[in-house]
Structure formats: C-alpha cells, structure tokens
Structure 1
Amino acid sequence: MSVDSQKTPYNPLALEFKSSTFSVPVLILFSNDLAVIEQQLQAKISLAPEFFRNSPLVLDVQELNKKDLDLDIAALMEILREPGLLPVGIRGGNLKQNKKALALQIPVYSVTSSSATAEAQKRKTITPPVPEPITDPGTTILITHPVRSGQRLYASGDLVILAQVSAGAEILAEGNIHVYGTLRGRAMAGVQGNKAARIFCSDLQAELISIAGDYKISEDMQAISRNKPVQVYLQDHTIIIKDI
C-alpha cells in the first residue's frame, strides 16, 4: 500500500461553535389565567403584528412563583405559538415548570438580574430580536441601495441608508439611524440600551420606531406630516418626533 493511500481524506470545515450574545423579547407573566393572557397577548400583537411574527420569545414566570401561582406550561406554549411567536426559553421557573419545559424541548435559563426585570416591568418596552452583528463593534455601516421587504440590517455603530426602507424591512443599530429616503418598515436605534441614540429620516412612514426599547407604532404616528425630514429621540421614556 502506498503512503498516499494511507493519508486521512481532507474535509473542509463544516461547522463551528462560537459564543455570541442575542437580545430576545421577554414575556413576564403576572397572572396564570390563560384566557386573560391570550386576550391581552392578542391585543398587544395586533398593534404591531409584523414585529411579533416569527419572533423568538423567553417566558419569565418568576412573578407567578412569588405568588405561588401554578401554570399550565404546555397550554401556554400553544397560546404563544398560535399567533406566530416562537418560545425559545423559560426563566424563573420552579422544578416542576422547568421539567415540563424541557419535556417540550424548551431550554431553561437562570434569572440574570432582578433589577433589570423590575425596570422592565415599569416600562412599555420592546427588546427586538437582534441578528449577529455584520461588522466590527462601533463601525458605521453605509447602505447605498434600497432595503427591501423582509430584509434585516444590523449595525453595531451607526446605520446610514442612502435610499428608501420598504414596508416589511427591519433596520437596527446600536447607535443612530439615518435614512435619506422614505422610512417604512421598522427602525430601532440604540438597541443595546443607548438612550441618546436618534433616528433621522427624510420621510417618516414607519410601521414601528424604537429608541433603546421604547417605541411607537404606525397608529401612534398618524398625525406626523409626511414628505419632510424629521428626527426621533427619547425623552423621559417618551418617543419624540420633531421636524428638522
């Protein structure tokens, strides 16, 4: 047998595990009444259906357990999946809840910060699902072509778009967002908590805008004049839209 025939065949790299951080919406429950939960969930989703469609979700049940309220995990998962939400974890659960979640192939997470949870309860916030950054931290991304429906862009610095953003598109930045065209779709600046971030655009017709988690949807912006440049910023947890 020749030496060459004894060599191990070359196989190109097919996979790799990497540590990464993603921001996922957290649903905090204060009641175990499934009918009430379903009703209020549908009301919330109806305000911004495209934002929540196919969105991952972590279920937080620690407030229920503080009150010794039991919860039918399996029934709740069906309620969450019905409108298109994708439960990807549970936190704050007791032994019984965690075992049930694992049986349903739902990962169990530990509670990372009680203070952060308390702050989230005081505010109407959205933490958008954030894809892995496509550039080095803090780098500004310049986009020269239109952002089409279904596309999602993320910048770890500022995001500058020299064209329109179509309905159904989603643009996210840890810094500011500049759109030199019509802004439809969803725009979220300061997604890692930067409350000083702003959104600038030539024509605001967005489905949803957000600064550091606080947001407005299209129904809240009907009085905004179109075809004129505006800036969006956060003031005392309130989204302000002002002409430039």
Structure 2
Amino acid sequence: MQKTSIEIKGSNFTLLVLYLKSNNIDLINKSLYKKVQEYPQFFKNAPIILNVSHLSLNQTSWGRIQEVIISHSLFIVGVTGCSDDYMKKIIINSGLPILLEGEKIKNITNNINQNISFFYKKYNCENKNDKTTKKTIKKIEKTHIINTPVRSGQKIYAKYSDLIVTNNVSAGAELVADGNIHIYGSVRGRVLAGANGDITSNIFCTALFAELLSISGEYWLSDQIPLKFIGKSAQIYLSNKVLTINSLS
C-alpha cells in the first residue's frame, strides 16, 4: 500500500493577539515601535493574530495597517473581529484568513452537532460520530511531570492536564498546560496555563523570572510583573478576568 504524502492533524500553538484600538496609522506605528524595542528578540518574526473589532476599516486603511505591522518584523497569520462582509473579502484577498473566535466556533459546532443528531434520529441510524465526539472531549484527569531542565527552544504541552516541572526552565523555553502549572525551580521562559480556556487555572513557581505569564489568554510580559515578585515564590491566577499575583513565601 502506498503511503500518503501528507497528513493533517490538530495541534496547539500559542499565538499573541494584537488588538488595534485606533485607526491612526502613525499612532499604531509608534506604539508598535516602542513595544518591539522593549523585547526585540521576543517579537522578531513573531506570528500574531490581528484583532480589528475596535476599528472601522476600509480598503486603504487595511492596506496601510498591514504594511505597518509587517514593517516591524511581525507576521500576521490571521485576522479576527471583522464583522463587515466587504472587508472580510478584502482581507481574504490580501492573503490572510478570517479566524472565528472561541464562542462563534462553539456555536457553529453546536449547530453542526444538532443537525447530525437530527439526521440520525430521523433515519433511526446509529450516530458513530457521537461516540467519537464524547471520547474526544472527555477531560483526562492526570498530571504531566518533567524532572529534567527545560532548555531554550523546548516547548512542553500538557493536554487536558496539569504540568509539574521539578527543575529549571531556561529563557526561550515554553510551558503550556490546559490545567495548572507548577515549577519547582527558576523559570525564565514563557508559562501559559489554562490553554484550553480554563480561567480557574493557576501558575505556581519558586523563583520567578519569566518572559511571559499567561492564564486563559490573559498575559503579562516580564516588565508587567511587579518587581517585588521577581526571583520570588509566587502564585499567578485570574481574579475577575484580571491577572493577579500573590507571594508564596
């Protein structure tokens, strides 16, 4: 049997979302320059999703916005928040996909599942897809444990579980978990808990030097972490959808 030349699978990637809140091109340019200069290595060639829900776009403004963002070595991989059908076509024609946000995807998925269920009930068939779906979304209660150092460039993803690291995490490394993340060592990389949208997730660490902290999409870069917690034991969590940090010592 001939082997297939391609394979498509689901995966999990962490992407920054750039929210544009002004149509002023000069202001966007200056703001991006300032942010990128703070962390040039972090943002260099970084893939981003562009949220334009706060903007009133036209063909000219979209082209200029796209040029400004690209000029700062950022790669736009998709656009979200666009409600105008005409602008959606312009964005798609510029070579970028329109991405649906979580709630919209959920609604579409629910409608599809309802239609499938209706079809099988109508014709008294066994819906094999129902069993597959239930099996897929079932939450696995387990903990993923890493005992070795996490080196720069490494990415560890704990799907449907908590993640425990009993060693140091280097700058440039990335920890991602759908649940909580515990780090019993110094952490200098990126830490993203609640990756599947769980707002009750926490991050616990014994020596905080992180480049980025995120819970369920809400994030801080290193300069946003209060100085008194740098190098200390800390707990990071969401309180009323706002990142909050407490000392553990």
Count residues in correspondence.
211
**Cα distance in 2 between the residues matched to 1:112 and 1:189:** 17
Contact 2:234 2:247 in 1 (8 A): yes
What amino acid does structure 2 have at the position aligned with 1:198?
N
Find out whether 1:233 has 2:223 as its counterpart. no
**Cα distance in 2 between the residues matched to 1:208 and 1:112:** 22
Contact 1:168 1:186 in 2 (8 A): yes
Determine which structure has the larger helix proportion and give its number. 2
TM superposition score normalised by structure 1: 0.71
2:196 matched residue in structure 1: 192
2:211 matched residue in structure 1: 207
What's the offset of the Cα at 1:151? Answer: 1.5
**Cα distance in 2 between the residues matched to 1:168 and 1:86:** 19
Higher relative contact order (Cα pairs below 8 Å, separated by 6+ residues): 1
What's the offset of the Cα at 1:57? Answer: 2.5
SS of match in other structure, 1:149: coil
CA offsets 1:64-98 (integer angstroms, 9 cap, x no match): 23xx7665323222222233322122341535533
**Cα distance in 1 between the residues matched to 2:22 and 2:207:** 41
Relative distance call for 1:110 and 1:209 in structure 2 (3 A) is closer
What's the offset of the Cα at 1:152? Answer: 1.6
Listed as ranges, the gaps of 5+ residues in structure 2 are 105-138
Relative distance call for 1:174 and 1:150 in structure 2 (3 A) is same
CA offsets 1:25-65 (integer angstroms, 9 cap, x no match): 43333322111111222334445555544433233334323
Find out whether 1:72 has 2:61 as its counterpart. yes
What's the offset of the Cα at 1:168? Answer: 1.2
2:220 matched residue in structure 1: 216
TM superposition score normalised by structure 2: 0.70
2:88 matched residue in structure 1: 98
SS of match in other structure, 1:37: helix
Contact 1:90 1:98 in 2 (8 A): no
**Cα distance in 1 between the residues matched to 2:193 and 2:205:** 12
What amino acid does structure 1 have at the position aligned with 2:222?
S
Contact 1:88 1:107 in 2 (8 A): yes
2:169 matched residue in structure 1: 165
SS of match in other structure, 1:107: coil
Relative distance call for 1:12 and 1:105 in structure 2 (3 A) is same
Contact 2:158 2:177 in 1 (8 A): yes
**Cα distance in 1 between the residues matched to 2:195 and 2:83:** 27
Contact 1:64 1:70 in 2 (8 A): no
The CA RMSD measured in Å over matched residues stands at: 3.0
Listed as ranges, the gaps of 5+ residues in structure 1 are 1-9, 115-135
Relative distance call for 1:173 and 1:47 in structure 2 (3 A) is farther
What are the equivalent positions in structure 2 for 1:144-183 lying under 5 Å apart? 144-156=147-159, 157-183=161-187
Find out whether 1:83 has 2:72 as its counterpart. yes
